[in-house]
Each structure stands twice: as structure tokens, then as C-alpha cells.
Structure 1
Amino acid sequence: MTKMETGRQAPPEIKRAGRLLAVLLILLAGWFGWSGAQQWRADAREQQLADARDQVVAATAAAVAAQERALAQRLQDPQVQAALEQGDPDTAALVLRGAWPDVEEVLFWRADLAPAYADAGEFGYARLALLERALSTDAAVAAVVRDGQDIRLGVAAPARMSGAAAVAYARLPLRTLTATLDQVAVPEGSYLALRQGNYNVSERGAGALSGSADALSREVGKSGLRTAAAVPDAGSAPFQLGAMGCLVLAGVLAVLALLALVVASGWMPRPGRAREAAAGEPQPTFGQTLEREAADAPAPVAAARPARTEPEPLPDVALDPGIFRAYDIRGVVGTQLTAQVAARIGQAIGSVMAEQGLTDIVVGRDGRLSGPDLVGGLIEGLRKAGRNVIDVGMVPTPVVYFAAYHLRAGSGVAVTGSHNPPDYNGFKIVVGGETLSGDAITGLYARIAEGRLHEAAPGSLLQQDVADDYIQRIADDVQLERPLKVVADAGNGVAGDIAPRLLEAIGAEVVPLYCEIDGTFPNHHPDPSEPANLEDLIQTVKQFDADLGLAFDGDGDRLGVVTRDGKVIFPDRLLMLFAADVLQRNPGAMVIYDVKCTGKLSDYILRNGGSPLMWKTGHSLIKSKMRETEAELAGEMSGHFFFKERWYGFDDGLYSAARLLEILAGRMETPSEVLDELPDGVSTPEIKVAVDGSPHEIVGRFAAAAQEEDSPFAGARLTTIDGLRADWSDGWGLLRASNTTPVLVLRFEADNEAALVRIRDLYREQLRGLLPDDAPLEL
């Protein structure tokens, strides 16, 4: 049989189409095959890591339980019991250690833990919280603690000594917990760690994945430990087909490619009844088609890049040293702050970065009318110092902080006046992950005044939107167990754009109030610490029968809350709720609060197994103290909340709102009922008294007089870390100087109204003598 009897030569255009189709099918088959193989390997690696993680979880839980059991059982030894009954803890410890070869030290304390509380910082807050937990649960408990200069496994259990309640403590090496993690096989390129809170007890593998490791974490029983795990992001298979789907599709495409090659070879089966196709005009080959398309295509446009020409010298400017405050830069626009001043500040920040070897920085601004000009000057100065700038546009301050982490810049500047009047603006600065404050802020002024400014080839400038990434990051972690209806009042501040979108993304029904960004703040001032600014929110919550009202300040880093009943929930009470939630997962963790917070907060944190610490007011000062103490949570009476657990440790009113709704949605009670259960007393909001002179000088004189022997404050416990706080048995009062505006800030709290009046009158009387006779003083 001849060839002409079984088939015929395909026309040229069919051959060309067959070749083109074959090439496309081969490319697609190769892509799907490669994707399937990659996904297969990624799935296998993740499964291997999950198996290793679960092995570590089981072994660690068993190790913790074994050590808790060991201490409880050894305390029942007759010799140990006899020694304790005779009030001889040293002999009891010696006997107990002799029967327990792994233990490094055994100690006993009476239940009041007086030696520990005498110097809690030196004793160790985590170790103190462990002992308190053993006493409160009346059971043996274990945790990773700082013991002196070392990190160890601590085990504590209740005991009896000389007939009185006591607690026993045993210190063991960390290998007791980490033996399995140290030996388990960790897949190449992945990460596995044993964590307590944000502290890595031990870790293996690719440390660069540490930040995303909680996505695959598993709790180790109720020990407060967890095993965190992460694999490199391998993406997902095309069209969500999975590994097997990609491989099957690759095979099908390969078969189709072979058929197309048969057609391209020129042979076609002779059709029984089909008519011959008319010969068409000669068509270009595949190669000719590519050449023609390349010739016809428009010339590529290069991405816009900043000019690398030498910048013009910045003009001399007059700097007011008063704008360089304790924890940010803040001043009046047009007199103290201009675009030229901003450029100098930018060059000074860039000079600090250059000395630390940092190149990239994020810049954003709030909705104030002066923002664009000041950002322009700031960027000019940063680039003059050779820094690469990523401009994220008009966003809340916490989004700038987030972008510094998300874009791996490590540094950021938010141009914001926060809650100050519309004619104010300023700069909140982070360099290398550290918020500048105190001497670092005044050091910028000194650097500018002395001309110690770095110059280099201009850095690059890139605009990038991160708002959606910010919302997605939070929504991936926080979702409400049941929907809540909330009113979000942005006070026409910059949070108005993102807050409703974020709250809806986590599952809330949102009624927006004053969410149109307007730098003149036409409706009310964006300061939720002032009860008068919450009146419209209270009425709107009642009007829409909402579960809760949320208020944000001008740049979105502070949160205010009102209930359906119209009650204002002060931030120090909110901090109680946050602390109880965080301490459930991080027993013994430190919680920091500022001097303006309720006196009931310390006891509440202790009763929930935490370690309270009072500190100075100021967002940068709090963040610095958090880094120093490794605290998991902090808060200020002004409405700043700092979550290190599950977040980055910066103050974020939007994220705090999400965490609040998460807690409330998980309770059976209504939000109002949950918030009403928090300990409360008779208290005032922040009281602000404007002064003409230096508020710090007035507070200094007030504190000095209060510490004299014949002072009316003689019977109170005085705290002077930030102003003067005087605590009596039935209440307390505070006077401090604001670091943002020329005002005195006061607050009072007491067990009853009579005590509150007495303390307020005392402060009023003492302060009156330090102010001009005609100065208003309404406390």
C-alpha cells in the first residue's frame, strides 16, 4: 500500500500551526510538570516537618509532666517531710537533690514569697510567676525561667514548712526539655523551635523563617510552651490543582504535543469524504512570526528611577530645639516646622542610619494638610544622605511601623501630629527596629546644629501601597467566632480609610462614623482620651443598637472604647482584659503599664499569673522598656497598646481593636457584660491643665515639695519615675508633664467618692501655689 493511499501531505499552514501548537503544549507540559514536582517536594517537606514537630510536642509534654511528677513525688519522701516539719529547708533540699540526679538546685520559700518580692527584678519575674502559679493552683507546675544569669527549666510545687504553707522550687538544665528537638531530623531549609511566649528556648534549621513559624505551631499541653515550625514559601500549584493534578495534566499535554508534532511533520490521514482545502497564501514560519512581532512591538519603557545627579545644597534653616521632645519631634507648622526643617531632620536621620549601616527606610503620613510638604522635605533629606526611601503614602502610623517589618526596611518615619491640634505636625522615628526617644531625639538636633550630616549619592525613591497587606496580615490571624456590630469613629483622622475595611475583614459589621479623612477635623478632635470627643460615638452606638463603639486618634495608634450602655471603658481596664488573654498563653509574662493606670491593674495581672511593671508614659519609652524586659504586652492610659505576642510590639490602635473584638466575640456574655466585670473604682479621666511656663519645671517643684518631711504627702508611697504619683491605702493621684503639648496632666482614683475628693483637693491646693493667681485650675 502506498503512502498516498493511507494519508496525504498536510498543507503548509497546517504544518506551521502544528509546530506552533506543539511548542506551546510542550512548554505548558514542562511548566505543569515542574510545578507538580516542586509542589510534591514542598508537600513532602512540610509533612516531614509536621511529623518532627509533633514528635517534639509529645516528647516535650512528656518531659514537663515527668518533672512535675518528680517534684511532687519527692516532696512526699519521709525524710523530706521530716526536715520540712522541723523547719530545716536546707536538709530537705539536700535529701531531695540526692534522689534526683538531673536537678541543679532545690530551694524552699514560705508562701508570702517576701524575699522574692523584696527585689522582684533581681529574683526574676518569670520565676516569681511560676511560684505564684504553683501556690494558686495547688499543683506542681513547670516553665522556662531566668534563674540568675541563666535560662533554665524551673519546677515548683506547693509544700508545708513548720506547719505553714510554702513552695518548693527545683532548677533543671534546659536539655531536659530540648533533648528531642536537638536530635530530631529537621528537613533541609525548614525551621523548628521550642518557644515560650516570644522566647526561643531552642531552635533548629533556617533561622530566617523564625518570624513565620507560628503558623504551624502546636501547643505543648498546658505548659505555656509551644513548638513552632516553618517551611520556605513554595507558593501554590497553578490553579490550585495540587501536585498530582499538575503531574496528570502535564502528561495529557505531553500526549497532545506528540499529536501536534505528527501533524507538524506533514502527514495527515486522508479523510473519507472531506474536500481538499484550497491552497492559501504562503504563511510565515514560527521563527518569522516571532521576528515580525518583535519588530512591531513598541520599544520597552524603562522603569522610572530617581535621578542620581548631585542634589542641590539644602538651605540654612533656623531650628527650634523645643520641637525635639522626649519621644518624638512635634511642633507648629509654618513656624517651628517647614519643609526645609523636615529636610534637615531627614538628613540627620539618614546620617544615623549610615553610621549603623542601614540603607532602606519607609516613610508615611497622616491626613493633616501639612503632610505632603513635610514628607517631601523629609524624603529630600533622607535621599541626600544616600538612603533608599519607600513612600507608603497616607496611612496610619502603625501601618508605617508594619511596613518597616513587612518590606524588611527595619526603619521608618511617620509624619504625624497624632492627636494634637490641626496646626501641629511631627515625626515618629524608628531606626533599625528601635523607636528613637530621649537622647536619641535630642541627638538629631545636635547633629543638625553642629553640621554633622552625612552626604552621599542620592538614594532611590519607591512608592508602594501596603494597606492591603496590613489588613490581610491581621485577618489571617484574627477572626471573630461570632459577628459583632461596632461603630468605628476615626474623627476624620487617617484611620478612617483602613479601620472599617480591617474590622469587616475579621468578621465584624461596621458602622463608620467620621471616617472621611479631613485634616481640619471638622466634627470633633481625634483624641479618644477626652470623654467629650466620644459623645457622638455613644449616641451612634445607641442609635444603631451596636455592640460596641471604637474610637481612634488622628494617626490610628490609640484606641478608645464605649459600650452599648454609653460607658467609657478607660484603657487601663482594657489592658486588664488584654493581659488576662495574653497570660493564658504566656504564663509569667511581663505586662508593662504607665504611671497613669489604675492601682487595681497590678493585682489583676498578678492574679492572672503575670508580672506587672509600672513605667514612664510615652510610646517610645514603653517600647524601649518592652525590649529591655522582653514583655509580651504593654499599655498606656492614653490608649496606646503594645502587643508583642502575635504582633510586632509597636503601638497599634487598629490591631488592638481587632484583638479586643476577638476576645469579646469568644465570650458567651455580651461585650458590655464582659467589660463591666473588670475591676473598677471611682476615677477621673486624664485632666489637662494648660500652662504658660515649662510644665516639667512646675512638676519638678511640685515633686520636691511633696518629698519634704512636713509635706501633706508624708503618709503616701511616692513614685517619681514620671512626675509625682502618690498612693494611699484608699486611692492615688498623679501629676506629670505632657511631652507633646505645654500642659500638666493629672489623674485620680479612689475606693470611694470621699477619698477621691480628698486626694483631688490636696493636689489642687499644692498646685495652686505654683501657678499664677489667675491661672484656671479646674480639677
Structure 2
Amino acid sequence: MTEMDAGRRGSGQTKRAGLLLALLLILLAAWFGWSGANLWRADAREQQLADARDQAAAATAAAVGAQERGLAERLQAPEVQSALAQGDAAAAAAALRAAWEQVEEVAFWRAGLGAAYAEAAGFGYARLALLERALSSGGPVAAVVRDDEQARLGVAAPVELAGESAVAYARLPLRTLTAGFQQVPLPEGTYLALRQGNYNVSERGAGSLSGSADALSREVGKTGLRAAAAVPDADAAPFQLGATACLAVAGVLAFLAIVALLLGSGRLQRLRRRRGNAEATPDEQPTFGQTLEREAGDAPASAASAQRSAPAEPPSMPDVALDPGIFRAYDIRGVVGKQLTPQVAARIGQAIGSVMAEQGLTDIVVGRDGRLSGPELVGGLIEGLRRAGRNVIDVGMVPTPVVYFAAYHLRAGSGVAVTGSHNPPDYNGFKIVVGGETLSGEAITDLYARIAEGRLHQADPGALSQQDVAEDYIQRIADDVQLERPLKVVADAGNGVAGEIAPRLLEAIGAEVIPLYCDIDGTFPNHHPDPSEPHNLEDLIQTVKQFDADIGLAFDGDGDRLGVVTKEGRIIFPDRLLMLYAADVLQRNPGAMVIYDVKCTGKLSDYILRHGGSPLMWKTGHSLIKSKMRETEAELAGEMSGHFFFKERWYGFDDGLYSAARLLEILAGRMEAPSEVLDELPDGVSTPEIKVPVDGDPHAIVARFAAAAQVEDAPFAGARLTTIDGLRADWNDGWGLLRASNTTPVLVLRFEADDEATLSRIRDLYREQLRTLLPEDAPLEF
């Protein structure tokens, strides 16, 4: 072959290579361009939906306001006021109906609402709650209620009937509330719903998106309603880029494609020769590789050359700001939008999936509580878990113990509950079980280290499936627990996620249930879902008395804690409940280990011993207690916070719902009234948990306090000191505790004694010693 033939052959190869490169670049440009355009359309549609949601919220708020004003104005009509002054409720109702074309029913009740409470189930708990709210608020209020066996808009306002306090109620068709909502223009393929708690008052669009709609919800003033919205997920963009970045990359690739076409057609070489490269003959033209090398020497490497010189990296998640403070002792918890975002959740999911991969675990259950941020955080979490190659089973919106149950029931062995527990509405978090072990302490901080150091496992995406396990959970408990006699129970879910399942479970085991705040609402409009705070139990106490119920049960935001009140209004602290549980379990398991945390009563140890058990005090924290149970093979454990852990007949995880069932089983099996059974338990004079906010590290303060207390001539000399979690000092007539919270920057104290004088002595001692360690203005009024 002559040199000229070789040159022609090389030139042909160069052209073909240039054309192939151009084709590749064109395809890449088209991919990035299509992705960018798709993302742009998706962003535009989401913005249109957000506008529609806001319009719907405004229209609904206006409708509610109009009906509330309408009732208030019509109540002031002379004929209505005259009838009310004479105590003629029927005449007042007739006058009001005559003046109000849309109204379906009008009624008046005296403030006691005796007739309504007598037939509460038939009257409707939502309607009853509306009347109570009107009486307490002092003005007109509205809500969606079930009346005449259908959803209606109820409006109520306080009035005076013959000089006595009463309440007026008007029932209106639902269209008076939803007319504006139905007229709002809705982008194609999206979803919009008007919700009260977990009930859809009205919905439009793609119903398949209903489950994720709360992520884009907007409150409707202070009505308890919210406008929820959802858009379908956009197709994933290359390398997780946004719309603008995709379009920019497409433009760069298109330019490089033109350059490659010129190279392939030979025009680029001819242009170079015309610029002064006359000495180069066709036989001396550089090869395609040489051309690229020369261009690399003249300018920074292009995207095309970089792609050719090294294999493309797999798409990676964008960098996220990760706050190490969210990785707590027992779980992960933080403020939504600041510390917790879907991107952070995705990293956490991939870190959990990495731990699972190292242990050879493939399947994991994911569920969430009723917080509005739940759907988007679950979406991010699932993305990260699947990115690590894990198969995800989504069990939807369920209490945390149902997630734990599903991990056993579905033989996954691992699970994550996306929950903020009892924290304020703007918080959320993750409770994590891997291979049957609840992660805590170093295992939690290891997740942060993996993310920070980039030690994240990546594999082909795992599978995703959905499964409803709520009925299986209820059936599993009902097959084991049945009441020997019916008990009337008030169940207060505090608008937490237990509200949907708790009444069904308690009815399944034979109880008569009166639901209180069982509509799931992530804003917690009635009271905070934390039964360890006595003031959160006030409504439950009143409702138990009004219905003459046998007992009141309260659940926290994610359903893993239990609070109890008697029909007389006494709060039964969890450490006394643990006595009752221990006596029951030890009947069938003599000598069994019973674990309790450092905040529990000093009378608990003796009680367990007298009933043939082995007591063990341990650190506070649900994950720490569960770890100790596995180590000691304990049958039962409990915490002062209301976490109870049954290994006997159950799985050993903390479950407020199952604990409620076991409590009712014990009470229904006794001849005495529930209040009498609970009153028999040993008691003393005690305080609830006392929380003192501090600046700085509460653990350091507790360490200094404990060190000072252990000096020989310290005021604590003569007490039995326990330092496994803070400092607990036990005397023969009482005890005190100071420990640092592992979830918030506060000091936690609790005291108990045989009488008030001893209690004051111990409190004063702790206060005096603590005052030397804190600033003078520190709040120590406990």
C-alpha cells in the first residue's frame, strides 16, 4: 500500500470516527434536551398546581367564613332573639330556617349537651366536638360533620336560651363548602383534595396520587381543613440535574456535535489548511486521536473528550447539607425543610441500605405517621434504599409499631418508621430497625459517618411494592386478646396516626370505644400528642367523665406510647402500669426479668420481687431498652415515658396499641372496677417529668453534678447512687433523678417520696446542688 493510499485510508477512518462521535453527541444532546424540557414542563405544572391549591384554600376559607358570619348575623334577627329570650328553641329554629334558604336543619342545645352525650355514637362525635368547640371559643365555628348519615357542613355558635348558656347548630349541604373548590382550574394529570384530618371532603384529578398529596398541602386558615395536592413524579433527569442544567448541557453537546460533523466531513481540516497549514499534505494529516491530543493541548478538555477518555460515572445524588445534630441517641430527628429534606432522607436511606448490604439483608419495610411532611420524606427514603439495591415494602400511613409488626409479619427483618413521634408539627424523623435490631448510639452516628465520608453502597435499583398490613395487625392481636367483659373506653389519639387503627383494634377485642381526636391531622389542632404531659390529658379526663367511661387511653403521635386516666380523672403514671403488667406476666413466667428505666418509681423493684420476678433498672431510651431486653432475654420492660415492651405473647418492641389491649384484658378479667384495680397499686407522692431547658451541653452539666454528689461529705452521702443514666439517689423514704435528655437540650428531673415533706426535702437538695452549676437566671422553679 502506498503512502497516499494509507493517508486516504486514515482520512476515511477519521471521517467515520467524527461522524460516529457526532451521532453520539446528537443522541446525548437530544436526551438532555428532552429531559430538560420534560422537567421544565413538570416544574411549570407543579407551579400551576400550587396556584390552584392556594386558590382552593382561599375559596374554602371564604366559604367557611361566609357561613359562620351567616349564622352569627341570622341569630341576631329580632324574631330569633325574641324566641331565644323566651326559651322557645323550636320557634327560634323555625325563624332561623325561614331566613336561611340553604339550611337543612337548625337546632339548639343547652350547654350541658346531656341529650347529645346520652346517644353520642348516633349523634356523631364530630358534631358533638363542633358544639363543644363553639361553646369554648365564644364565637361561630364550622366543620365537616356526619349528620343524617352523610357528610355535611356544620356551623355552630354560642347563644343564650332563656338566659342560660346554649349552642346553636345549623346543617348545610356540603356544596356550600366545596363549590369554590370545585371551580378552581386543575392542571391535567394532577390531584387536588380538600381534607379534614384523614377524611377527603372532596377530591379531583388523578386519585392514584392521593397517598402523596399531603406533601404539598396548605392549611385553610384555622378551620382544621387543608388543601392537599400532588403531581406525578417527573422522569429522573440525567445525573440528577435540574431543567436549566439539562438544557445547558444539551446546548453544549449540540455545539460539540457540529464540531464533530465538520471533522467527519473533512471541512475542519480544510479550514485549518487555509489558515496557514499549507505545508501539511494529505499524506501527513493527523489521525483523529492526534487531532484530539492537539486540541487538548490548546484548550481545556471538552465534555466529549472527557467522556471518551474515561468511562462515565454512574449518576450520583446532589450534595446536601447534612446536620450531624439530627443523628440522636435513639433515632434521627430534625426540623423539616431545614435539617430534613427529601434529599437528606435519600442519603439516610442509602446509608441504611449500605448497612443492610453488609449484613446480607435485602428487604425492608417503610411506613410513616400522619405528619404533612411524611410523603415527601418517605419518597426520598425509598429512593435511597432502592439506590442501595434494597427491596422496599411500603406499608403506608400507619403507627410505628405497625411498621415493626410488618417487619416480622412480612419476614423482612428490617424497617423504618418515618415519624416525629410527639414532637411539634414541623419536626419529623426516622426510627430504624436493621436485622431485628433497633439502631441507637454508635449505630446511628455510623449512618452520619457513612454519608459524610461517601461510604455508600450502590447497586441496581431494588424493587418497590405496597402492602396493607393494618388488618393483619388487628387480627393478630384480636386472636390473642379478648375481653372477658365489655369495657367502655375513651381513646384519645391527639390527631396522631393511631387515630385510624386504635378504635378498630379496641372494638375488635371487645371494648366499647368512644373516639376522641381520632381524625389524623399532622397539625395537631386540639392538643399535642404527648401523653406524658398531664395538660395534654385534660380533654380526655373530661370526656371520660362526660361519658361515664370505665377508663381513658391516650396515644402519642406515632402510637408507640400509652397514657391512662381513670373515670375519676386520676392519671396513672406508666411506672405504676408496669406493676400491673409485671404481675400478670409473672403469673405465667415465674422468675422472668422485668426491665424499667431510671425514671420509674422506687416501689417498682420491690413489687416485681414480691411477685417472683427479677427487676433490672436500665437507661432511658426505647432502643436502649430493646437492646437490653435481647441481651437479658427479659419478658417485659417499660419506661416512665409510656413505652411498654412485651416479649411474652408479642415481639418485644414498644407498642402503645398492644399495651392498651393487654391493659384492658387485665382489667376486664378482674371483678373490681378498673379504677379500683389501679388504685390498689403501690403509690407515693411523686412528680411527673420536670424539664429544665439549658444552654450548652446538658450531659456535661449532669456529669459535673454526678461527680460532686459522689464526694464523701456531699449532701448525697447515705443515699444509694445510680449513675447508669444521669444521677439517681435513692433513700429509704424517697428518691430523686437528674439526667440529660438525649433528644433535646434539657435536663430531666423526677422525684418521689413517701410524703410531701420528704418530697420537698429531696427536691430542694437537687435544686440547691444544680443552682451551683447553672447561671443565676436559670429557671429552677420545680
What's the TM-score bracket when you normalise by the shorter of the two chains? 0.5 to 0.7
Q: Are 2:445 and 1:434 aligned? A: no
Task: Give the counterpart of 2:476 among 451, 473, 476.
Answer: 473
Q: Are 2:682 and 1:682 aligned? A: no
Q: Distance in 2 between matches of 1:734 and 1:579?
A: 23
Task: Give the counterpart of 2:411 among 405, 408, 432.
Answer: 408
Q: Distance in 1 between matches of 2:567 and 2:392?
A: 44
Q: Which residue of 1 aligns with 2:284?
A: none
Task: Give the counterpart of 2:582 among 579, 587, 590.
Answer: 579
Q: Distance in 1 between matches of 2:751 and 2:533?
A: 15
Q: Distance in 1 between matches of 2:692 and 2:487?
A: 38
Task: Give the counterpart of 2:524 among 486, 508, 521.
Answer: 521
Q: Distance in 2 between matches of 1:778 and 1:626?
A: 36
Which structure 2 residues correspond to residues 102-501 of structure 1 after superposition, within 5 A? Answer: 312-501=315-504
Task: Give the counterpart of 1:696 among 674, 678, 699.
Answer: 699
Task: Give the counterpart of 1:557 among 541, 560, 565.
Answer: 560
Q: Distance in 2 between matches of 1:546 and 1:666?
A: 17
Q: Distance in 2 between matches of 1:580 and 1:753?
A: 28
Q: Distance in 2 between matches of 1:705 and 1:655?
A: 42
Q: Distance in 1 between matches of 2:495 and 2:771?
A: 37
Q: Distance in 1 between matches of 2:697 and 2:496?
A: 29
Q: Cα RMSD between the aligned structures?
A: 1.7
- 1:252-275, CA deviations, whole angstroms, 9 ceiling, x for partnerless residues? xxxxxxxxxxxxxxxxxxxxxxxx
Q: Which residue of 2 aligns with 1:182?
A: none
Q: Distance in 2 between matches of 1:728 and 1:686?
A: 19
Shift of 1:778: 2.0
Q: Which residue of 1 aligns with 2:194?
A: none
Q: Are 2:573 and 1:589 aligned? A: no
Structure 1: 5+ residue stretches without partners: 1-305
* Total equivalences in the alignment: 476
Structure 1 stretches of 4+ moved >2 Å = 306-312
Q: Distance in 2 between matches of 1:339 and 1:348?
A: 14
Q: Distance in 2 between matches of 1:663 and 1:526?
A: 25
Task: Give the counterpart of 1:625 among 618, 625, 628.
Answer: 628
- 1:740-766, CA deviations, whole angstroms, 9 ceiling, x for partnerless residues? 222111100001110000000111111
Q: Distance in 2 between matches of 1:319 and 1:609?
A: 49
Q: Which amino acid aligns with 2:645?
A: F
Q: Which residue of 2 aligns with 1:647?
A: 650
Shift of 1:312: 4.1
Task: Give the counterpart of 2:742 among 739, 742, 747.
Answer: 739
Structure 2: 5+ residue stretches without partners: 1-233, 240-313
Q: Are 2:521 and 1:533 aligned? A: no
- 1:720-775, CA deviations, whole angstroms, 9 ceiling, x for partnerless residues? 00010001111000011111222111100001110000000111111122222222
Q: Distance in 2 between matches of 1:419 and 1:764?
A: 28
Secondary structure at 1:588 match in 2? coil
- 1:127-152, CA deviations, whole angstroms, 9 ceiling, x for partnerless residues? xxxxxxxxxxxxxxxxxxxxxxxxxx
Secondary structure at 1:520 match in 2? coil
Q: Which amino acid aligns with 1:765?
A: E
Secondary structure at 1:468 match in 2? helix
Q: Which amino acid aligns with 2:571?
A: V
Secondary structure at 2:500 match in 1? helix
Q: Which residue of 1 aligns with 2:609?
A: 606
Q: Which amino acid aligns with 1:512?
A: P
Q: Distance in 2 between matches of 1:328 and 1:699?
A: 22
Secondary structure at 2:721 match in 1? strand
Task: Give the counterpart of 2:551 among 548, 553, 563.
Answer: 548
Q: Distance in 2 between matches of 1:539 and 1:626?
A: 37
Q: Which amino acid aligns with 2:435?
A: G
Q: Distance in 1 between matches of 2:657 and 2:519?
A: 16
- 1:86-108, CA deviations, whole angstroms, 9 ceiling, x for partnerless residues? xxxxxxxxxxxxxxxxxxxxxxx
Q: Distance in 2 between matches of 1:317 and 1:507?
A: 50
Secondary structure at 1:718 match in 2? strand
Secondary structure at 1:414 match in 2? strand
Task: Give the counterpart of 2:664 among 661, 666, 670.
Answer: 661
Q: Which amino acid aligns with 2:476?
A: R
Task: Give the counterpart of 1:570 among 557, 568, 573.
Answer: 573
Secondary structure at 1:501 match in 2? helix
Q: Distance in 2 between matches of 1:456 and 1:320?
A: 26
Shift of 1:692: 2.2
Q: Distance in 1 between matches of 2:468 and 2:479?
A: 19
Q: Distance in 1 between matches of 2:235 and 2:723?
A: 52
Q: Distance in 2 between matches of 1:771 and 1:378?
A: 41
Q: Which residue of 2 aligns with 1:88?
A: none
Q: Distance in 2 between matches of 1:423 and 1:711?
A: 44
Secondary structure at 1:692 match in 2? coil
Which structure 2 residues correspond to residues 80-91 of structure 1 after superposition, within 5 A? Answer: none
The sequence identity of aligned pairs, in percent, is 91
Q: Distance in 1 between matches of 2:536 and 2:693?
A: 18
Q: Distance in 2 between matches of 1:448 and 1:578?
A: 42
Q: Which amino acid aligns with 1:756?
A: L
Q: Distance in 2 between matches of 1:686 and 1:710?
A: 29
Shift of 1:322: 1.2
Q: Are 2:769 and 1:777 aligned? A: no
Q: Please, what TM-score do these two structures have when normalized by structure 1?
A: 0.60
Q: Are 2:767 and 1:764 aligned? A: yes
Q: Which amino acid aligns with 1:556?
A: G
Q: Distance in 2 between matches of 1:429 and 1:622?
A: 15
- 1:398-443, CA deviations, whole angstroms, 9 ceiling, x for partnerless residues? 0000000000000000011111111111110000000001111111
Q: Which residue of 1 aligns with 2:731?
A: 728
Task: Give the counterpart of 2:756 among 748, 753, 769.
Answer: 753
- 1:23-60, CA deviations, whole angstroms, 9 ceiling, x for partnerless residues? xxxxxxxxxxxxxxxxxxxxxxxxxxxxxxxxxxxxxx
Secondary structure at 2:527 match in 1? coil
Q: Which amino acid aligns with 2:643?
A: H
Q: Which amino acid aligns with 2:563?
A: G
- 1:61-96, CA deviations, whole angstroms, 9 ceiling, x for partnerless residues? xxxxxxxxxxxxxxxxxxxxxxxxxxxxxxxxxxxx
Q: Which amino acid aligns with 1:377?
A: G
Q: Which residue of 2 aligns with 1:717?
A: 720
Shift of 1:459: 0.4
Q: Distance in 1 between matches of 2:709 and 2:422?
A: 32
Q: Which amino acid aligns with 1:436?
A: L
Shift of 1:710: 2.5
Which structure 2 residues correspond to residues 22-101 of structure 1 after superposition, within 5 A? Answer: none
Shift of 1:307: 10
Q: Which amino acid aligns with 1:682?
A: V
Q: Which amino acid aligns with 1:427?
A: F
Shift of 1:498: 0.4
Q: Which amino acid aligns with 2:602?
A: G
Q: Which amino acid aligns with 1:316?
A: D
Q: Distance in 2 between matches of 1:439 and 1:765?
A: 35
Q: Which amino acid aligns with 1:776?
A: P
